[in-house]
Chain A
Amino acid sequence: MSIVTRARRAGTARALMLGVLLALGLLHPASPVQSAPAPGGLLTYATNREPDMLDVNVGSSRYDRWVTANIYDQLLTMDRSGKLQPWLAESWQISTDGRVYTFKLRRGVEFHDGTPFNAAAVKINFDRITAPETKSTSAIGLLGEYDKSEVVDPFTLRVTFKRPHPGFLTNLADVTLGIQSPAAMAKFGADYVRNPVGTGPFMFKEWVRRDRIVLVRNPKYNWGPPWAKHTGPAYLEQVTFRIIPEDGSRVATLESGQIDGIGRVPPQNAAVLRVDKRWTVVNSVLPGTGVILVVNGRRPPTDDIAMRRALEHLMNVDDAARLAYFSQWFPHRGSILSSPNPMFANTAKMYPPSAQKAEQLLDEAGWRKGPDGIRTKGGVRASLVYIGFPSFETTRTMEWMGANLRAIGIELTIREMETGAIHRARQRGEHNLAHLTFIFLDPGFLRTLFHSENSGGGWNFYHAKDAQIDQLLEQGETEPDPAKRKKLYEEAQKRILDQGFVIPVVYQHQISAFKSTIGDVAMYPVLGEYPYFYDTYVRR
């Protein structure tokens, strides 16, 4: 019996009981009370890893963004339909050559320390990001070929780039480009990483290492994002982020009622929690590549396109989602972009899953089965090496794939290692298959991942040189016309899949679960990885 079936049976039993009680009139048959949100209340939310730092200029790892999303505001924001909207920047103009952006900023916005938000503050942020002493790891990549910012007047800022940066507006909606208080950065210096000051709905109060981070309501907040459900300060008085690294313990802590919400719910637990009325499960699909396998086109046997195409036919994404992710992470229907990305192309029909077709392709290409059942061709053994970071889901995926591969005469060796070593190994092309997952909004980033110039020293792990892919990615990065840009990226997605350089598996999800007494729990739109507590309230 699967977990989901077991959970559903439990849920059905409970439902039956409720029905009986209702019939006996022991329960008031009123509809569930929709209380209007009222200010007040505390919320505790547990994640799996502690943030590294809370200074987005310097670093913005996934674990940092849980907290920084609620402390900082951005110049632009993306609503739930993926459309860019003004936020701290009320309007903007782009020069015809795409290199100069002029922003009119919102007035009346204050940092948590009382200092005013203005063009000078934004300029200081951008300059700091690009300054070498800052050693920025994430934000600097979002600023493209930044040249300079000029304060035209206190609330008008002109930003100039050395080359056109059509992705700039989308990147401005990223939490990583949240605006920090210059006064605080000057005051705290290197220790600003632990003393964040932004303009957001919550202010930083304290950080007890390895235990919790506490935020309190910003009483002066009056400039929420346009897609928010209310205006004025947040409802919650206080938000506490706790860190519980072990998945099972985190879920157990939620189920015991000790906390109000948790993030990074493993798929097997999500399946059980969602049928239980006590919990609200929020399952967001994240933009970016999704969970995909990159195939090394330079290392045998995957240097043979027939082998790569056979692998494509062997991958059944529905089975993968069901077995490795308990159906909680959805099958990937694209190639290198996932469905929330505005330029996503559905390429599912290109390789209908079929083990027979895979075998046929291999036979036709001359891969003959040897006496031990493993195919060979011209002295090369059909032996694949997988390199990845240890994670339960990806391991299960590869173990399942390994069994399927063995059945058609290909052997698979799984090598899992820690991040530093993986990176070098993938750069050197020691793999035939490697997992890749990146979260981003603007497809301009695809150049970093799939252009041949980035093979060897960068993040391109399929290592083959395909002129068509390169050209499409180059053009797409700087094409100012949105319609043309979309077409270019569609073709890029199709081409890379056609050549068999990526095998998509599932989309990347982030699943959170909350007590049902917490109202309006929503993930940060589109980027969806972390909850945004501005509209959240405690039901009375």
Chain B
Amino acid sequence: MTRDAPGQDRPATGKATRSPRRAMLQRMARHRGLAIGGALLVILAATAVLAPLVAPHDPLAIDPASIMARPGPRHLLGTDTLGRDLFSRVVYGGRISLLLGLISVAVSLFFGVLLGVLAGYFGGKVDEVIMRFVDVLLAFPGLLLALLAVFALGIGLRNAMIAVGISGIPLFARVTRGEVLSAKQNLYIEAARAIGAPEPVLIWRHLLPNIITPNIVLATLRVGTAIIFGASLSFLGLGAQAPAPEWGLMLSQGRGFLAVAWWMSFAPGLAIFLVVMASNLFGDGLRDVLDPRLGT
């Protein structure tokens, strides 16, 4: 539905000499949101991956002499109640969030697409059963499903990733199923024309590209939500374990010290905000360029 990115002009229409793929890449590069979001994501990811080089201190090193120190030259973002450097912890925490985003979205993608394909392709009873199951998952408002799932699986970061992944399945299942259904529609028309062509091959050749695009866009947009859900679970004490420098856990630990050491709560929250914003910018841009049909 959104055809325009904020303030972005429409790209000039077709010079026939350029291939569609190059044209798309050009549109991507020109899309401001996409470029900025992408660049930010790359920087953040690089910081996370290169954490040992970027972080000035050991994120687990305790320093009883400088507990709750204000942000300053030695500790850029201050220290926490055990004297640990917050900047280093935030940087290393990026690794955890990166992993969290990737794994949970992978889980959602895999099971969601699988269910969607099965439902759309086979139709009938299979479709009914699968979609009712998806409806049940959807009946849980927001975080509640992830909460229940992580509790059932056992508290911990790994299970939190899976739990967040589970809560994202309906989204991908529905979209995939929709794509499969509309692909099937077109297929019958084509099959009527191309007599004798084997149906499965046709479906496969048409299905795949139609499924990939919307799912990629959704996946990019979902990373932000996944990171927030994961951090929420850690915030509630159900995800990452101490002494891991996970951002949600750090926020929860800093909460009791808001009055005397507000920087403990500021830094990790800012990090989450930047990552999510970057992924939203990137995802929005991707959607604008690849598949404006998707809307919101």
Chain A hits for B257, CB < 8 A: 268
From B82, B154, B237, B256, A248 is in contact (CB under 8 Å) with B256
Judge whether B67 is part of the interface by a CB distance below 8 angstroms.
yes
Known pairs A319-B64, A323-B67, A403-B60; A415 contacts B255 (CB<8 A):
no
B256 in contact with A247 (CB, 8 Å): yes
Q: How far is the CB of A249 from chain B (nearest CB, A)?
A: 10
From A398, A399, A416, B155 is in contact (CB under 8 Å) with A416
Known pairs A6-B260, A248-B256, A403-B60; A418 contacts B155 (CB<8 A):
yes
B243 in contact with A402 (CB, 8 Å): yes
Minimum CB distance partner of A252 in chain B: B259
B62 in contact with A400 (CB, 8 Å): yes
Chain B hits for A247, CB < 8 A: 256
Residues of A in contact with B, size category: 20 to 34
B256 in contact with A395 (CB, 8 Å): no
B residues 170-199 in Cβ contact with A at 8 Å: none
From B237, B242, B260, A399 is in contact (CB under 8 Å) with B242
A323 in contact with B64 (CB, 8 Å): yes
Chain B hits for A248, CB < 8 A: 255-256, 258-259
Main secondary structure of the interface of B (DSSP, over half): loop
From B68, B154, B156, B242, A3 is in contact (CB under 8 Å) with B68
Judge whether A390 is part of the interface by a CB distance below 8 angstroms.
yes
From A2, A319, A390, B67 is in contact (CB under 8 Å) with A2
A414 in contact with B259 (CB, 8 Å): no
Q: How far is the CA of A395 from the CA of B252 in the complex (A)?
A: 12
User: Known contacts A248-B259, A396-B81; can you find 5 more A-B pairs with CB under 8 A?
Assistant: A2-B68, A399-B82, A399-B243, A400-B82, A416-B155
From A323, A406, A416, A417, B242 is in contact (CB under 8 Å) with A416
A residues 421-440 in Cβ contact with B at 8 Å: 421
From B68, B243, B256, A392 is in contact (CB under 8 Å) with B256
B residues 57-82 in Cβ contact with A at 8 Å: 60-62, 64, 67-68, 81-82
Chain A hits for B62, CB < 8 A: 399-400, 403
A residues 383-402 in Cβ contact with B at 8 Å: 390, 392, 395-396, 398-400, 402
Minimum CB distance partner of B257 in chain A: A268
Minimum CB distance partner of A402 in chain B: B243
Q: How far is the CA of A323 from the CA of B64 in the complex (A)?
A: 7
Q: How far is the CA of A319 from the CA of B242 in the complex (A)?
A: 20
Judge whether A266 is part of the interface by a CB distance below 8 angstroms.
yes
Q: How far is the CA of A392 from the CA of B242 in the complex (A)?
A: 10
Binding site for A on B (CB under 8 A): 60-62, 64, 67-68, 81-82, 151, 154-156, 237, 241-243, 253, 255-260
Q: How far is the CB of B62 from chain A (nearest CB, A)?
A: 4
Binding site for B on A (CB under 8 A): 2-3, 6, 247-248, 252, 266, 268, 272, 319, 322-323, 390, 392, 395-396, 398-400, 402-403, 406, 414-418, 421
B255 in contact with A398 (CB, 8 Å): no
Quick one: which of B61, B67, B256 has the most chain A CB within 10 A?
B256
Q: How far is the CA of A6 from the CA of B259 in the complex (A)?
A: 12
Chain B hits for A3, CB < 8 A: 68, 260
Chain B hits for A322, CB < 8 A: 64
Quick one: which of B62, B82, B237, B255 has the most chain A CB within 10 A?
B62
Q: How far is the CB of B71 from chain A (nearest CB, A)?
A: 14
Known pairs A268-B260, A323-B67, A395-B242; A390 contacts B154 (CB<8 A):
no
Chain A hits for B242, CB < 8 A: 395, 398-399, 414, 416
Q: How far is the CA of A358 from the CA of B284 in the complex (A)?
A: 58
The 5 closest A-B pairs by CB, nearest first: A403-B62, A399-B243, A390-B237, A395-B242, A417-B155
Known pairs A400-B82, A416-B241; A392 contacts B253 (CB<8 A):
yes
Chain B hits for A398, CB < 8 A: 242
Chain A hits for B256, CB < 8 A: 247-248, 266, 268, 392
B237 in contact with A416 (CB, 8 Å): yes
Q: How far is the CB of A8 from chain B (nearest CB, A)?
A: 14
Q: How far is the CB of B135 from chain A (nearest CB, A)?
A: 29
Chain B hits for A272, CB < 8 A: 260
Q: List 19 A-B contacts (CB under 8 A).
A: A2-B68, A3-B68, A3-B260, A248-B255, A252-B259, A268-B81, A268-B256, A392-B253, A399-B62, A399-B82, A402-B60, A402-B243, A403-B62, A414-B241, A415-B241, A417-B154, A417-B155, A418-B155, A421-B154
Minimum CB distance partner of B253 in chain A: A392
Q: How far is the CA of A156 from the CA of B259 in the complex (A)?
A: 57
A403 in contact with B61 (CB, 8 Å): yes
Chain B hits for A406, CB < 8 A: 60
Chain A hits for B237, CB < 8 A: 390, 416
Q: How far is the CB of A395 from chain B (nearest CB, A)?
A: 5
Q: How far is the CB of B241 from chain A (nearest CB, A)?
A: 5
Q: How far is the CB of A397 from chain B (nearest CB, A)?
A: 10
Q: How far is the CB of B257 from chain A (nearest CB, A)?
A: 6
Q: How far is the CB of B246 from chain A (nearest CB, A)?
A: 13
Minimum CB distance partner of A266 in chain B: B256
Q: How far is the CA of A142 from the CA of B126 in the complex (A)?
A: 59
Q: How far is the CA of A511 from the CA of B32 in the complex (A)?
A: 56
Q: How far is the CA of A265 from the CA of B242 in the complex (A)?
A: 23
Q: How far is the CA of A392 from the CA of B254 in the complex (A)?
A: 10
Q: How far is the CB of B268 from chain A (nearest CB, A)?
A: 16
Q: How far is the CB of B18 from chain A (nearest CB, A)?
A: 55
Chain B hits for A403, CB < 8 A: 60-62, 82
Q: How far is the CA of A402 from the CA of B244 in the complex (A)?
A: 12
Q: How far is the CA of A3 from the CA of B258 in the complex (A)?
A: 13
Chain B hits for A402, CB < 8 A: 60, 243
Chain B hits for A416, CB < 8 A: 155, 237, 241-242
Quick one: which of A322, A417, A421 has the most chain B CB within 10 A?
A417
Minimum CB distance partner of B84 in chain A: A399
Q: How far is the CB of A205 from chain B (nearest CB, A)?
A: 33
Q: How far is the CB of B121 from chain A (nearest CB, A)?
A: 40
